[in-house]
Structure 1
Amino acid sequence: MPTRIDVVADPVRDRCLLTTDHLSPRPLPGRAGVVRVALVAAGALLLAGDEVRIEVSVKGPVRLEIVETAGTVAYGMNGGSARWDVDLRLTDGASLHWYAEPFIVSADADVTRCTTAYLEPGCTAELRESLILGRHNEVGGSLRTSTRAWIDDQQVLAEDLDLSAAARTSWAVLGEARCLDSITTLGFRLPHDPHTLQLEAAGSITRRLVDEHHESDLSPGIQSGATQNSLP
């Protein structure tokens, strides 16, 4: 059973249904038109054999803000492996803001992360992902990520990253960096700058490659000058 967050806009009171599995979603105080949900680990994460799945559905003109209370550590797995899958579906003018806390892949961990997003036209999503290979003074384990995103029936993003120890030290991947910090927007663009890739449809990816997470200048305010509309 996956962890689920189901939000439906309502003129009287927005409805929110939360389902717990590896993670426990908990409601937070919000303001009109905004639903805020915290994600709290329901047990030790991430261990060999864990298959974490998070499903998020937002319907109608409401903004969902997901808050992670702590980062996630993938511990050494002694030859085992784990998965972390996220499925996002936004319809009828919905909006999602999810600035995830660091995801740390310890030595001897082996993790696959997959994110899939489906947005109807007029919906927007802003997602931060901070991937850290290894704890302090540690060479991290293996991480493979896959991201797919659609706006209506148009696929706007398809990316696979091999961040295994042998591949990530290439100058074309991470080089000497240990942390890959990214913000992805769908349905609107971030301001143009040398660090930002503009997708063919409305959307952007901006990234920082740093040795320590605190060295990254990505923050919730980075899109303050963004063009928040669904036009390319």
Structure 2
Amino acid sequence: MSGVRATARIVATPAGLPVLSGEGPLALRRTRAAGPGLRVTVVGAMSAPLGGDRLAVEAEVREGARLTLDAAAATVSLPSRTAVPASYDVRLSVGEHAELCWLPGPVISAYGSDLRARTRVELAATARLVLREEQVLGRHGEPPGTLVSRLTVHRAGRPLFDQELGSGPGVPGGWDGPAVLAGHRATGQLLVVGPEFDVKPARPRLLGESAVLTPLAGPAVVVTALAPDALRLRRVLDEAARDILAEWLPDVPYR
């Protein structure tokens, strides 16, 4: 099977970053944090993912540590000569009284591409998580490629959130219909988890015309949003993040 194999690994502790290792297109840089804790930025070092590529990011935030993990640019899923889909796996682990902000750039599904993206998160009972995901269906003026994305979150060993979304050619019909994307070209979600939601539960509410905040069956909320483009999607999610964090997790940085 052809394609690039690369894994970026990060381990964060209250004392620093004992593990900070990137490969191939996944270069890692320690950058200045907006608040307390550590910050690492994923810097794309080459064009990827292409068909057949197997990319992965693994981050472990140990007890008491605080980490913001973001990206310098969007991830563009590109077409290639092989019919084998590319894969991008993210595996995140957050320990007791630890905190992770996972804020990657959007995934852009270019015409002719085929990507399987999966994010798996394991949280301790007292862990905090701010997770943003964005998907853009096609570059400007082109139809999308195929993109299947799944997010799975467990807290204290129990399922908290499990969602999959597919779009583009080869995905069963209906993904662009009125019940799913309704013709929008950008979609995303913001997941916030913390014990603070046990003390002060959130209520479901609409956020403008194309976003909704939904409390989960656990100390967490998820914001799901649609937009005509990536810029407006980011504005919706950023505004939701500022409001949620100000009310429940005011000491968590989000930049």
TM-score if structure 2 supplies the norm length? 0.82
Matched with 1:47 is 50
Deviations, residues 73-111 of structure 1 (Å, cap 9, x unaligned): 111234331001000001121101122211100011111
**1: distance between equivalents of 2:57 and 2:139?**
25
Q: Secondary structure at the match of 2:144?
A: coil
Matched with 1:184 is 191
How far apart are 1:31 and its partner, in Å?
7.3
Pick the aligned partner of 2:20 from 18, 21, 39: 18
Counterpart amino acid of 1:224? L
Higher helix share: 2
Q: Secondary structure at the match of 2:139?
A: coil
**1: distance between equivalents of 2:180 and 2:74?**
23
Q: Secondary structure at the match of 1:136?
A: coil
Q: Secondary structure at the match of 1:214?
A: helix
Q: Secondary structure at the match of 2:248?
A: coil
In 1, are the aligned partners of 2:33 and 2:68 still within 8 Å (CA)?
Answer: no
**2: distance between equivalents of 1:136 and 1:25?**
29
**1: distance between equivalents of 2:68 and 2:176?**
34
**2: distance between equivalents of 1:191 and 1:15?**
34
Matched with 2:139 is 135
Deviations, residues 39-71 of structure 1 (Å, cap 9, x unaligned): 011321121111111000000212101121111
In 2, are the aligned partners of 1:52 and 1:83 still within 8 Å (CA)?
Answer: yes
**1: distance between equivalents of 2:153 and 2:34?**
29
Pick the aligned partner of 1:112 from 104, 111, 116: 116
Q: After the TM superposition, which segments of 4 or more aligned residues of structure 1 sit over 6 Å from their partners?
A: none
Matched with 1:102 is 106
**1: distance between equivalents of 2:123 and 2:245?**
22
Counterpart amino acid of 1:8? T
| CA RMSD after TM alignment | 2.0
Q: Secondary structure at the match of 1:215?
A: helix
Pick the aligned partner of 2:32 from 15, 29, 32: 29
**2: distance between equivalents of 1:228 and 1:30?**
17
Change (3 A) 1:32 1:145: closer
Matched with 2:41 is 38
2:248 aligned with 1:227:
yes
**2: distance between equivalents of 1:29 and 1:225?**
22
In 2, are the aligned partners of 1:191 and 1:223 still within 8 Å (CA)?
Answer: no
**2: distance between equivalents of 1:9 and 1:62?**
4
Q: Secondary structure at the match of 1:218?
A: helix
Change (3 A) 1:191 1:75: same
**2: distance between equivalents of 1:37 and 1:81?**
28
